[in-house]
Structure 1
């Protein structure tokens, strides 16, 4: 069973013993590798330690080695070498390591450090064809680098995640969502073409019309069918600035109705909801916003209500629209029912807005924290029940409230159901992100809390879907995919029949 505790120096002896056992089993199959590949396989303590951990810091699986590829053919050769064995070794592609439950790990197999592909320079190229502008991006590249590279040309992707220090291949293997997704769909809806190395070691270029089965399978496919080495992403003219407000609500019906009105109007460029469980939430906003609101009044209302809601609302503009942006924004706000005396305002550059979270990997306390997150998609028809049962009755009672809690609606018609990503079967569904942060000894408190939420939904018949899913049994995965399971399983047999790729997802590879 995976060690639930982080690997600290005092565990070094145990780690060394396990490491020696695994390395002892490594020899027979490394003999089949070329000298060039052998030179790029590392099993030093630092490489193993890094590949045995992720942002969640909850699960630790020790690989036999880590591949640092210098070119795509290094990965192809590794996968083909595994296929040639009577008992293949498993392979996990690791970008930035921001999975939270060991999804980018493999016990006893090989982790591919994808970032190594860009050691010789950026693999980002802006281009244009008859259909418009695009950017070709290496799967290992970070979205923050995509932002800087494309805006130099006055262009930018239209859909983002809230955190940009993530690899392109990693987010496209999930979906990639944020406050722009209601308008443009998730990041996977804005991909034109992919280069993929399948689980058989085949290098395939695919799109909606070419090798489409692989294309649709890989997008949102949790790394089960291939490793993304290049993605061609839609670009549009980049705005230069963002007019940005946060509004506060005490009434859930007003909060949800206003969010749904905003995503149906297409007037804003970004809409997200935030759950306010303690006054530190609004205190933290002051680094970005100016406000005439009285913080003590917010604290008093929060104490009375137990929970407040906020809408984060953004409209982009540039020099051509600067003279009208204030009027447009005020017209949009007049249609909303927020508490008027509690409004936080900001006006920033596009880059400052999109990169507002900064680089969390620079956190000096990162190795001392765990992130027992829960991300759900909730059907609109049941959000009132979910609010009453979970947000009102459960969340304020969680004494450990270190984290960010996000709750906002998405339009299903912006998703392509042929892709592997799974959503509720309703026109509008809500994304809930409970982004807990805790000390390792407290992570079980949040895991217990998350499981209580899932049990509540099960008992209430609320058909939620996990985003960034984590399940321990195949039966749970079958239930998760529902009507998509048969095609998901068929694609696995077609593109990775020996079940080599992404064992950390625990879909086809059981982990004892």
Structure 2
């Protein structure tokens, strides 16, 4: 019996040895042709259970080669599908100890515009593969309600989970099918930011894997330098694997109102008034309506057929009009009180008489409004096309000149792109200057700045070229006439000097943090901040 067991054991060892040799041949002979960035070292340094999560199949590579913008095509050498956080730690450490290291980019929902989530000839980490980064709603005496969320989780799932407990985060993006780690690496803004700040201002704690492969828990009081660096840090200092998000009691419904203005000065004055109120709206945004950018757009089909025709007719008459969008949260038993608050809130506003439009919606339907339009466009093949967007922050003192020189003289008169075109104010005091995200430079006495989003789509190469050229003209014009903008989700910087100008006085700290947490410049090369030749 013992002899038979020994024979079986020897046979098992021989078979195992043969398998290991075959694996070695596959690693060195088959996968080596992919080695444009020394990535075959992965197969020599990673444990087998980690290296087997690297994929080179055509579908995975194609998906990871581009992003929502459909402007860049940078195929990675491998796509990594981790199931645990430790998988990512091993991957990053393997790069850090390799000579030379291979580049790594964490990919959430890849809603970037200019290939920021891609990594040519490197490794894209599919954060959605993680199974140990769910959503957990918690409460503590010191923190109140919060949720711990995996970095690869989508905000729509955060909303649905927290709403089961009657709770919700306070700051959002207009589109919820974005990853938590992705928006926190930028800022995360929408019409609630004037009141609660961007999403990065509502984070209590994070788990981060640095460019050295160190797994670090950080907060305002613990490893605070990393905490502030990662928030808005464009993925340069670490991969967010968990974030602790502030929660508050969630409303059940919203009063959703849009008002139309013929005059931009009055439009901005009323926007600024609304965001200054102590008990004002919960959400404020604004956008342009013109011939190619009608009242209803892919952000939401708010207007009825008759109302849209009425508003579009006014826009045709004036060339461009402005829509102020206001939302007030409420619960079913608060309807009379909410209506009274809205009436008081709108006293003194100067929108065009007869051009106020109201709608009632559930809280979830309002927050998830873009998804409804996305599905419509997907069915027509009009969603997965080029999105040459341009987003930036602009000082309040420059917004009137910007309206004339850009909105009117370029966008409206030339009528080359369809928008939508967003413009709405934020309160500067709701942003934390210790974080990496930068906003417009502060002019003396200005507590308000504006965000502008030029969000056209292009169905073909000709349209794409037209829009891209227009974007570059706008940026050049702002530079020439002294409108000091700061790109949000930046993609037009090509040199170190341009990035230094972007970060301004914060550049030195940004560079120091890079040297401290990712000294070999492994992470997020698609941002092209430190990898200029990438």
Pairwise same-fold verdict (TM > 0.5) = yes
**What's 2:526 paired with?**
504
**What's 1:377 paired with?**
393
Deviation at 1:43, TM superposition (A): 0.5
> Residue deviations 1:193-221, cap 9 Å, x none?
00000000000000001000000000000
Residue 302 (structure 2) pairs with residue 288 (structure 1): yes
**What's 1:126 paired with?**
137
Distance 1:99-1:189 versus aligned 2 partners, 3 A rule: same
8 Å contact from structure 1 (residues 411, 429) kept in 2:
yes
> Residue deviations 1:112-134, cap 9 Å, x none?
0000014x7x7000000112100
Match of 1:363 among 355, 378, 393: 378
**What's 1:334 paired with?**
347
Residue 507 (structure 2) pairs with residue 485 (structure 1): yes
8 Å contact from structure 2 (residues 154, 180) kept in 1:
yes
2 CA distance for matches of 1:166 and 1:193? 19
SS in structure 1 at match of 2:130? helix
1 CA distance for matches of 2:382 and 2:513? 37
Within-5 A mapping of 1:38-437: 38-118=51-131, 123-130=134-141, 131-266=143-278, 267-278=280-291, 281-284=294-297, 287-289=301-303, 293=307, 295-296=309-310, 298-358=311-371, 360=374, 363-364=378-379, 365=381, 369-426=385-442, 427-437=447-457
2 CA distance for matches of 1:178 and 1:209? 28
Deviation at 1:301, TM superposition (A): 2.8
2 CA distance for matches of 1:80 and 1:367? 38
8 Å contact from structure 1 (residues 248, 308) kept in 2:
yes
2 CA distance for matches of 1:338 and 1:307? 14
2 CA distance for matches of 1:348 and 1:510? 47
> Residue deviations 1:99-122, cap 9 Å, x none?
11000011111000000014x7x7
Structure 2, unmatched stretches of 5+, are: 1-30
8 Å contact from structure 2 (residues 294, 312) kept in 1:
no
- TM-score, normalisation: structure 2: 0.89
2 CA distance for matches of 1:23 and 1:286? 45
Deviation at 1:339, TM superposition (A): 0.7
> Residue deviations 1:410-447, cap 9 Å, x none?
00100000000001133211000001100241211111
Distance 1:200-1:20 versus aligned 2 partners, 3 A rule: closer
Distance 1:342-1:141 versus aligned 2 partners, 3 A rule: same
8 Å contact from structure 2 (residues 209, 241) kept in 1:
yes
> Residue deviations 1:70-111, cap 9 Å, x none?
000000000000011121000000000101100001111100
1 CA distance for matches of 2:329 and 2:351? 21
SS in structure 2 at match of 1:281? coil
SS in structure 1 at match of 2:441? coil
Distance 1:428-1:286 versus aligned 2 partners, 3 A rule: closer
> Residue deviations 1:384-432, cap 9 Å, x none?
1111111111111343333311100000100000000001133211000
> Residue deviations 1:57-79, cap 9 Å, x none?
00111111000000000000000
8 Å contact from structure 2 (residues 293, 420) kept in 1:
no
Deviation at 1:349, TM superposition (A): 0.6
Mark the structure with the bigger radius of gyration.
Answer: 2
8 Å contact from structure 1 (residues 48, 65) kept in 2:
yes
Backbone CA RMSD of aligned residues: 1.9
8 Å contact from structure 1 (residues 279, 302) kept in 2:
no
8 Å contact from structure 1 (residues 422, 465) kept in 2:
yes
SS in structure 2 at match of 1:195? strand
**What's 2:28 paired with?**
none
8 Å contact from structure 2 (residues 286, 323) kept in 1:
yes
Of the structure 1 ranges 311-320 and 187-196, higher mean CA displacement relative to structure 2 is found in 311-320
Structure 1, unmatched stretches of 5+, are: 1-18
**What's 1:14 paired with?**
none
> Residue deviations 1:36-64, cap 9 Å, x none?
11110001100100000100000111111
Residue 459 (structure 2) pairs with residue 439 (structure 1): yes
